[in-house]
């Protein structure tokens, strides 16, 4: 009577005493090494398996530590940005400080924004240039920041001559009690803002900038 591999495996799971009763026999059974062609004993094979699992766990731990360290760095940068935004009492100075901080601290080479629903004496600023109904609709529709290679031509025009070199964008809605604008970050690097990237810190950036601007009204 022949038994299939699944039946043998099921039997061994249900009868663990088999390994106690036939310990000597197990020492004489050899199987292929998972990382080479040579034969090794079952006990050696188990050790190799445990080493592989341990390596996987170590790799995951290192990855978690790396993510934690990166989040700490971003958190510190956000803290510095918050202090910068709280320092200014004039909207023009605040926007200048925002752009400078994004470029120097976050290494974002290009940033532009448009504002509306913000009563301010700074309406002569380019950020208050009229934005189309499409831009308003985009900002209203974004439940989370958008990251990817595509933005409408109107947004590209905000970047002037640099627009032809830009390959990735992040669109961040600015909200206070209502939507008050759209902040767009851009880069020549197509992988700087990619669709699968996390947007938690970008959302926090939008909340911070939106609140800081709204208090100027």
Boundaries of every domain in the chain:
1-71, 88-214
Q: Which helix (H) or strand (E) holds 45?
A: helix 42-87
- The rounded distance, in Å, linking the Cα atoms of 161 and 110 is 12
Looking at residue 162, what is its pLDDT? 95
Looking at residue 30, what is its pLDDT? 61
- Answer yes or no: pTM beyond 0.85: no
Asked whether 134 and 154 are in contact (CB, 8 A), the reply is yes
Looking at residue 132, what is its pLDDT? 96
Looking at residue 77, what is its pLDDT? 87
Looking at residue 78, what is its pLDDT? 86
* Non-local CB neighbours of 109 within 8 Å, separated by 6+ positions: 103, 186, 187, 188
- What topology does CATH give the domain 88-214? Beta-Lactamase (3.30.450)
Looking at residue 57, what is its pLDDT? 80
Mean pLDDT by 10 residues, the chain (217 residues): 68 71 63 62 68 79 75 82 87 93 94 88 80 96 96 96 96 93 97 93 94 83
Looking at residue 124, what is its pLDDT? 81
Closest CA to 26 of 46, 7, 6: 46
């Amino acid at each position: 009577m022949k038994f299939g591999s699944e039946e043998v495996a099921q039997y061994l799971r249900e009868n663990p005493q088999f390994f106690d009763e036939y310990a000597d026999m197990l020492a004489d059974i050899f199987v292929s090494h998972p990382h080479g062609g040579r034969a090794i004993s079952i006990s050696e094979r188990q050790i190799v398996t445990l080493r592989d699992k341990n390596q996987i766990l170590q790799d995951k731990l290192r990855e978690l530590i790396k993510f934690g360290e990166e989040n700490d760095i971003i958190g510190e940068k956000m803290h510095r940005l918050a202090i910068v935004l709280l320092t200014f009492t004039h909207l023009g100075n605040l926007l200048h400080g925002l752009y400078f901080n994004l470029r120097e601290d976050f290494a974002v080479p290009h940033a532009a924004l448009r504002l509306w629903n913000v009563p301010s004496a700074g309406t002569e600023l380019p950020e208050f240039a009229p934005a189309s109904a499409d831009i308003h609709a985009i900002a209203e529709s974004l439940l989370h920041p958008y990251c990817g290679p595509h933005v409408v031509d109107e947004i590209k025009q905000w970047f002037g001559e640099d627009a032809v070199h830009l390959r990735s964008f992040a669109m961040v809605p600015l909200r206070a009690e209502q939507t008050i604008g759209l902040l767009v970050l851009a880069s020549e690097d197509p992988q700087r803002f990619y669709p699968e990237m996390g947007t938690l810190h970008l959302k926090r950036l939008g909340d911070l900038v939106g609140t800081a601007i709204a208090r100027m009204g």
